[in-house]
């Protein structure tokens, strides 16, 4: 056998020139020649390697592989083995491993079989490979495991790849998605959106588009998604596929829709609210201006609704409002708008009206819809309404006027006795009370002396002798003439203005009664009864004010009687009671006004324990006409007597009524039969007289 040392050298030079670390190995695996590259790849010197078995260069865990390589080589001794696809390493002298590719080639020299083994450092490729694997893992994390639904689609919108979140959102498996375009599971109206987005990428260099699209879940429900779509482009800028990330905004959308519904609807009745009605009104108006025709606005206000709240509490009040809303809704046209205008007011907008007659027919339907009593729990409540109607067309200059005019008409309906409608007559707002300016005018009325107290005599029925007066407020408006307290008192009660009016009534009455008393002997000194609003009872300065007025006058406290109606809120009953105790402590009397009209008369009676009960005129008037109401009157009077209270009958208009009341031993009375309320001077002349 020829040893390598004996070989002539040219191929040795050749081996040195090779870029790979190379060894000439005999059939036992012993290296007979190594080139310099091999020494530098392994860290051994030339002499340390030559004569050694190649085993020393093979890491222990790869030795089995060496066996396999040898066997493979042995089976095909003339073929080459190149292993560059495995994680092979060479064991260096210092014990560390270096990643390499590996090749074995047969070589026959002088009939002797050698093997040329070569290794090539591939750490750079390995690192690149590792980076690729990591990138793939990152991609998995970013795509497959992303919480956000993601898909890749081709240029024809076919799904190439979809992540779990996307599958879950759509309720479909990958095999139901991949390879298909999105049309079958896109909400029909939105099918064109995808193509439109592609077009945007084609025409300009946009990197991302966002749009809202609706899908159909496998179960048929609609899903709203926000789509972010980016093209994956090659170096030349050509789009290869699309990367799409989505966000399910279905719930958000529903919430927004709900919120905008809430913003435009009254939470209690679900009807349109004022904002929505204003908007519709404006739209209707511009349609009328463009196309002609007429519109109608109907303002409906529940009559004496406050009493329900005061008597039964707000819960029942709310239920009644809801029930009223449903009745009204039942007679409306789908194209018109019924809204709750606040409190107990409803505003109805009707378009395409032929004129006032048609508007009135609608109004009549509304009023009739309230005819039947409302059943709330075990209560049966009557609830009527008044209606102001306005018809307008393109010539109506300002829209605001339309609402104001409806209000003017409504007040006219109330003034004419409630439970009815009134159609606005152009120009009438100059004559009738306009709620918008009324409060303002009322303020001025106090200062300008338009308000006055009138006094209606109260008589002892057994003798017809005048024993006192009820003070009733009068407003003589410069242009409008007499404005009834039934109109302006409820308005004043909506603000603190009632406190001013209340103070005015009290001051005037105390001064007046003081004057009458001075002119008479103390036995016939008349008392004065002053009406109080519930709101005055919540005025913390009330007691001090009454004391002050009494101190400044000559009127003894026991000649002053405060009238409280049932509208005194039972809700704040503790406060009211405390105040009444303080008043009676000062010697001031309390009368319960309009007894019998409220539903809680008896509970009020027990709580307030008034000195006088004023029987409402509705019980007095029909007394002799019906046996039934006569019984009611009789019952009320005997009830008061049993409780030790003084009974006073209001609204006595006929001798018959007077006789009946005398028969029942009702001690006091007032009414047109004797006298209406008259100015101070006239009242003064009645003091001590007998009718």
Measured CA to CA, the distance from residue 387 to residue 407 in angstroms comes to 9
Stretch that binds Mg ion, among 65-73, 293-301, 356-364, 592-600 (CB under 5 A): 592-600
The verdict on 121 binding Mg ion (CB under 5 A) reads: no
Distance between CA atoms of 332 and 350, rounded to whole angstroms?
A: 9
Q: Is 566 in the site for Mg ion (CB under 5 A)?
A: no
* Only segment of 185-193, 255-263, 272-280, 560-568 that touches Mg ion (CB under 5 A): 560-568
Half-sphere exposure of 271 (CA within 13 A, CB side): 30
Q: In angstroms, what is the minimal distance from the CB of 490 to Mg ion?
A: 14
Choose which of 35, 197, 339, 531 interacts with Mg ion (CB under 5 A): 531
367 or 648: whose CB is closer to Mg ion? Answer: 648
Report, in Å, the least distance between residue 597 CB and ligand C2E. 9
Of 460, 477, 458, 479, the C-alpha closest to 468 is 458
- The backbone torsions φ and ψ at residue 533, rounded to the nearest 5 degrees and listed phi first, read -95, 150
Q: Between residues 470 and 525, which has the closer beta carbon with respect to Mg ion?
A: 470
Residue with tokens 């998604």: 225
Taking the complex as a whole, the smallest distance from the CB of residue 534 to ligand C2E amounts, in Å, to: 9
Q: What are phi and psi of 99, to 5 degrees?
A: -65, 130
**Site mask, Mg ion, residues 417-436, x = CB under 5 A?**
--------------------
Task: Show contacts of 56-61: CB within 8 Å, 24+ apart.
Answer: 56/91, 57/90, 57/91, 57/119, 58/90, 58/91, 59/89, 59/90, 59/91, 59/97
Cβ 619 to ligand C2E shortest distance, Å: 12
CB of 404 to ligand C2E, least distance (A): 25
Q: Which is nearer to ligand C2E, 399 or 632 (CB)?
A: 632
Q: Does 593 bind Mg ion (CB under 5 A)?
A: yes
Residue among 99 and 651 whose Cβ is closer to Mg ion? 651
Q: Smallest distance from the beta carbon of 448 to ligand C2E, in angstroms?
A: 18
Is the separation of the CB atoms in 511 and 548 below 8 Å? Answer: no
564, 610 contact by CB (below 8 A): yes
Q: Kindly tell me which of 505 and 550 has the beta carbon lying closer to Mg ion.
A: 505
Select the binding partner of residue 672 from ligand C2E, Mg ion, none (C-beta < 5 to 8 A, by kind): ligand C2E
Axis crossing angle, helix 627-642 with helix 655-663, rounded to the nearest 10: 50
CB of residue 651 vs Mg ion: minimum separation in angstroms?
8
Query: How many Cα atoms occupy the beta-carbon half-sphere of 177 within 13 Å?
Result: 27
Spell out the residues 6+ positions from residue 577 whose beta carbon is closer than 8 angstroms to its own: 607, 608
The full DSSP string for 576-622 is HHHHHHHHHHTT-EEEEEEETTSTTHHHHHHHH--SEEEE-HHHHGG
CB of 304 to ligand C2E, least distance (A): 12
If the CB atoms of residues 99 and 457 are measured against ligand C2E, the closer one turns out to be 457
Helix H or strand E segment including 106: strand 97-109
With residue 661 as reference, give the H or E element that holds it.
helix 655-663
Provide the binding-site residues for ligand C2E, judged by CB under 6 A.
Answer: 456, 472-473, 484-486, 489, 505, 531-533, 563, 565, 593-594, 617, 650-653, 670-672, 676-677
CB-nearer residue toward ligand C2E: 319 or 565: 565
Q: Which is nearer to ligand C2E, 374 or 595 (CB)?
A: 595
Residues that bind Mg ion (CB under 5 A): 531, 563, 593-594, 650
């Amino acid at each position: 056998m020829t040893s390598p040392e004996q070989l002539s050298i040219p191929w040795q030079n050749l081996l040195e020139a090779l870029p790979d670390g190379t060894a000439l190995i005999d059939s036992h695996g012993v290296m007979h020649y190594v080139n310099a590259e091999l020494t530098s790849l392994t860290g051994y010197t030339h002499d340390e390697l030559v004569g050694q078995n190649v085993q020393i260069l093979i890491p222990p865990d790869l030795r089995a592989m060496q066996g396999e390589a040898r066997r493979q080589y042995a089976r095909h001794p003339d073929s080459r083995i190149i292993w560059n696809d495995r994680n092979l390493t060479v064991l260096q002298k210092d014990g560390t491993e270096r990643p390499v590719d590996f090749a074995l080639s047969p070589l026959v020299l002088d009939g002797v079989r050698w093997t040329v083994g070569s290794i090539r450092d591939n750490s750079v490729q390995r690192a690149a490979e590792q980076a690729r694997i990591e990138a793939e893992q990152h991609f998995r994390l970013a795509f497959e495991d992303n919480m956000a639904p993601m898909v890749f689609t081709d240029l024809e919108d076919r799904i190439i790849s979809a992540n779990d979140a996307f599958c879950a959102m759509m309720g479909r498996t990958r095999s139901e998605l991949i390879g298909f375009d999105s049309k079958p599971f896109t909400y029909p109206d939105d099918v064109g959106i995808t193509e439109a987005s592609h077009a945007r990428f084609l025409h300009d260099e946009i990197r991302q588009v966002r749009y809202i699209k609706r899908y159909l879940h496998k179960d048929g429900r609609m899903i709203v998604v926000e789509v972010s779509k980016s093209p994956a482009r090659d170096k030349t800028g050509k789009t290869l596929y699309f990367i799409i990330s989505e966000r399910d905004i279905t719930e958000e959308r529903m919430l927004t829709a709900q919120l905008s519904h809430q913003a435009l609807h009254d939470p209690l009745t679900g009807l349109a609210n004022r904002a929505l009605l204003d908007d519709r009104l404006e739209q209707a108006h511009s349609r009328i201006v463009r196309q002609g025709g007429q519109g109608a606005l109907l303002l409906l206000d529940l009559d004496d609704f406050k009493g329900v709240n005061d008597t039964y509490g707000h819960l029942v009040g709310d239920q009644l409002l809801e029930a009223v809303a449903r009745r009204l809704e039942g007679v409306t046209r789908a194209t018109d708008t019924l809204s709750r205008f606040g409190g107990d007011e409803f505003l109805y907008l009707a378009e395409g009206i032929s004129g006032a007659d048609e508007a009135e027919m609608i109004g009549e339907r509304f009023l009739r819809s309230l005819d039947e009593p409302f059943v709330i729990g075990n209560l049966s409540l009557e609830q009527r309404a008044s209606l102001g109607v306005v018809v307008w067309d393109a010539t109506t200059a300002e829209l605001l006027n339309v609402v104001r005019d409806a209000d003017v008409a409504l007040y006219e309906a109330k003034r004419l006795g409630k439970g009815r409608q009134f159609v606005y007559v152009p120009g009438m707002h100059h004559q009738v009370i306009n709620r918008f300016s009324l409060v303002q005018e009322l303020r001025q009325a106090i200062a300008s002396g338009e308000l006055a107290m009138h006094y209606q005599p109260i008589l002892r029925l057994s003798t017809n002798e005048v024993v006192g007066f009820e003070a009733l407020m009068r407003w003589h408006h410069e242009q409008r003439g007499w404005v009834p307290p039934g109109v302006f008192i409820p308005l004043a009660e909506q603000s603190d203005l009632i406190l001013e009016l209340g103070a005015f009534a009290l001051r005037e009455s105390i001064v007046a009664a003081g004057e009458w008393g001075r002119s008479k002997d103390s036995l016939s000194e008349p008392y004065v009864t002053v009406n109080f609003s519930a709101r005055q009872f919540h005025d913390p300065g009330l007691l001090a004010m009454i004391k002050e007025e009494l101190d400044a006058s000559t009127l003894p406290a026991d000649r002053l009687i405060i009238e409280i109606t049932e509208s005194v809120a039972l809700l704040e009953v503790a406060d009211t009671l405390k105040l009444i105790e303080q008043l009676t402590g000062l010697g001031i009397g309390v009368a319960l006004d309009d007894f019998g009209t409220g539903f809680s008369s008896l509970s009020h009676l027990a709580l307030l324990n008034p000195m006088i009960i004023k029987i409402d005129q509705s019980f007095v008037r029909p007394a002799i006409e019906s046996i039934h109401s006569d019984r009611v009157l009789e019952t009320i009077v005997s009830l008061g007597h049993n409780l030790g209270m003084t009974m006073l009958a209001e609204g006595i208009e006929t001798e018959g009524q007077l006789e009946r009341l005398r028969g029942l031993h009702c001690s006091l009375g007032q009414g047109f039969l004797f006298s209406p309320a008259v100015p101070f001077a006239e009242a003064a002349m009645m003091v001590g007289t007998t009718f």
